[in-house]
């Protein structure tokens, strides 16, 4: 993040705008929303600026911006649309040590002005560091449509009520009280009876919540999917924003964790294949402990919680303590890997069944139907198969699998560093060399995508 977003107090503080043409007018339309004391420096300001001066919204000065005036200003905008004049304004601002913006010149500016959604005092600032103004405008348009016009009025009314709301316990009860007011009771009451109705709604809601008991603890088992945050379900996003505590696997993408509330307690419980991990009993006890404190808790699992996620063990643990729960599915890695490879996991005339196998449990491999898997047309999605690849390869070849059976290898599925490789079965272990990210093997399927790396060994001459 090159530009750090802040909200600067400009109430009754001087802001200088040098220039009186269209560029200055465009910037002033935004600056006039503030309580700043604005002065426009231009020998012949436009009619619009003169009109604003007549209305007492700003002042004008026909002389140039002086060093002393620049020192007193909180912000300085160069908007003369003349490079030599704007350069002179920049030099004055630099000498004065005042924050400076050269309108439509990102490289010469010390700060940029974001797109703004104004529901004063609720303000949403949107910036793209000057890289994509059209994106900022699109977000602004979306936010304008979503945020109620009376949100600012509700916020001002709520501010006067905060001392009374402190009677509610700090934490979820108080947070739920304000959430109910701003997004349910308040807008309805304001729409029906104006400010008086909104104030009465606060008193009624306070009486309701003063008698409320803390919510019982609850655990949501949420699938984070293979990595790409855009593959999260809408329900998962909503729960992430509401959770008090999040226990997450190490493979969960950091961008997904960024969707959680800043106040949420984040606990990394490990869980990488054959890597460092918190003991399962310790994870169970953490869930029980936080739920007993009334926390709304998310157990965030990579992929789908019902697929190799030890879900039953964790459900049994919380059920023994009468803790309520829900399960929110996610996109499992096999589906993501198949999408990356451009292939279906099932195909008419090829396979009517699909096996999901985990490479995390070596003992479990010994119990596989290797003879059935070795038959032509068999398809299996093998999770966490890197470490056990040689074992898998040996068992399949031992039971008669064609050495040239195709295998798709997908590393870091759905992520920016995704790698897709194709290899025959007899070259599987060599093809996995130097791969360090999570890998899914699609046995019996060759990738369709042209981006796949075709891997062959000396014994195989197969273009997959």
Q: Among residues 63, 53, 74, which one has the least CA distance to residue 8? A: 74
H or E segment to which residue 370 belongs:
helix 370-373
The greatest distance separating any two alpha carbons of the chain, rounded to the nearest whole angstrom, comes to 92
Using an 8 Å Cβ cutoff, are 388 and 310 in contact? no
Q: For residue 96, give Cα distances in angstroms to 66, 75, 81, 240, 280.
A: 10, 11, 22, 46, 61
CA distance 136 to 138: 5
Both tokens of residue 347? 């195909």
13 a catalytic residue: no
Number of other residues whose CB lies within 10 A of the CB of residue 384: 20
Q: For residue 377, give Cα distances in angstroms to 54, 348, 365, 404, 420.
A: 83, 11, 20, 12, 21
Q: For residue 295, give Cα distances in angstroms to 179, 247, 290, 319.
A: 17, 12, 6, 16
- Tell me the torsion sign for CA atoms 18, 22, 25, 30: negative
CB under 8 Å, gap of 24 or more: what pairs does 177-182 form? 177/205, 177/206, 177/209, 180/205, 181/154, 181/205, 182/151, 182/154, 182/155, 182/158
Residue tagged active-site, from 27, 185, 271, 301? 271
CA distance 84 to 156: 45
Q: For residue 414, give Cα distances in angstroms to 331, 335, 339, 344, 442.
A: 11, 10, 9, 16, 15
Q: Among residues 433, 427, 273, which one has the least CA distance to residue 446? A: 427
Q: Among residues 98, 128, 131, which one has the least CA distance to residue 115? A: 128
Residue tagged active-site, from 244, 249, 253, 304? 249
H or E segment to which residue 288 belongs:
helix 280-292
In sequence order, the 6+-apart residues with CB closer than 8 A to the CB of 160 are: none
Q: Among residues 278, 232, 270, 259, which one has the least CA distance to residue 414? A: 232
140 a catalytic residue: no
Q: Which residues are catalytic?
A: 249, 271
């Amino acid at each position: 993040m090159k530009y750090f977003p802040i909200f600067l107090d400009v109430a009754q503080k001087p802001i200088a705008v040098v220039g009186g043409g269209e560029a200055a007018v465009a910037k002033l339309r935004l600056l006039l929303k503030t309580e700043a004391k604005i002065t426009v420096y231009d020998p012949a300001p436009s009619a619009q600026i003169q009109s604003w001066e007549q209305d007492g919204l700003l002042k004008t000065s026909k002389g140039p911006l002086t060093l002393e005036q620049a020192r007193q200003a909180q912000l300085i905008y160069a908007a003369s649309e003349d490079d030599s004049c704007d350069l002179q304004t920049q030099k004055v601002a630099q000498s004065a040590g005042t924050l400076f913006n050269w309108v439509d010149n990102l490289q010469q500016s010390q700060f940029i002005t974001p797109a703004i959604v104004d529901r004063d005092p609720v303000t949403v600032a949107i910036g793209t560091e000057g890289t994509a103004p059209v994106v900022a405008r699109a977000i602004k348009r979306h936010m304008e449509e979503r945020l109620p016009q009376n949100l600012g009025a509700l916020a001002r009314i709520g501010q006067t009520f905060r001392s009374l709301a402190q009677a509610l316990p700090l934490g979820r009860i108080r947070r739920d009280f304000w959430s109910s007011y701003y997004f349910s009771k308040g807008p309805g009451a304001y729409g029906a009876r104006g400010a008086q109705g909104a104030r009465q709604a606060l008193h009624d809601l306070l009486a309701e919540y003063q008698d409320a008991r803390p919510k019982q603890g609850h655990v949501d088992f949420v699938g984070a999917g293979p990595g790409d945050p855009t593959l999260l379900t809408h329900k998962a996003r909503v729960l992430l924003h509401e959770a008090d505590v999040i226990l997450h696997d190490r493979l969960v993408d950091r961008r997904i964790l960024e969707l959680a509330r800043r106040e949420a307690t984040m606990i990394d419980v490990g869980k990488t294949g054959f890597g460092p991990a918190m003991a399962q009993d310790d994870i169970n006890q953490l869930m029980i402990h936080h739920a007993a404190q009334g926390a709304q808790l998310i157990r965030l699992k990579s992929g789908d919680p019902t697929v190799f996620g030890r879900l039953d063990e964790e459900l049994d643990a919380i059920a023994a303590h009468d803790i309520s729960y829900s399960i929110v599915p996610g996109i499992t890695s096999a589906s993501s890997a198949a999408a990356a490879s451009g292939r279906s996991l099932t195909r008419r005339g090829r396979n009517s069944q699909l096996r999901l196998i985990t490479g995390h449990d070596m003992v479990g491999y010994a119990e596989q139907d290797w003879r059935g898997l070795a038959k032509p047309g068999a398809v299996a999605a093998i999770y966490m198969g890197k470490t056990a690849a040689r074992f898998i390869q040996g068992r399949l070849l031992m039971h008669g699998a064609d050495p040239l059976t195709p295998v798709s290898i997908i590393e870091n599925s759905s992520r920016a560093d995704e790698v897709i490789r194709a290899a025959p079965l007899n070259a599987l272990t060599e093809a996995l060399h130097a791969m360090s990210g999570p890998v899914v093997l699609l046995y019996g399927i060759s990738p369709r995508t042209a981006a796949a790396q075709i891997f062959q060994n000396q014994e195989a001459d197969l273009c997959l």
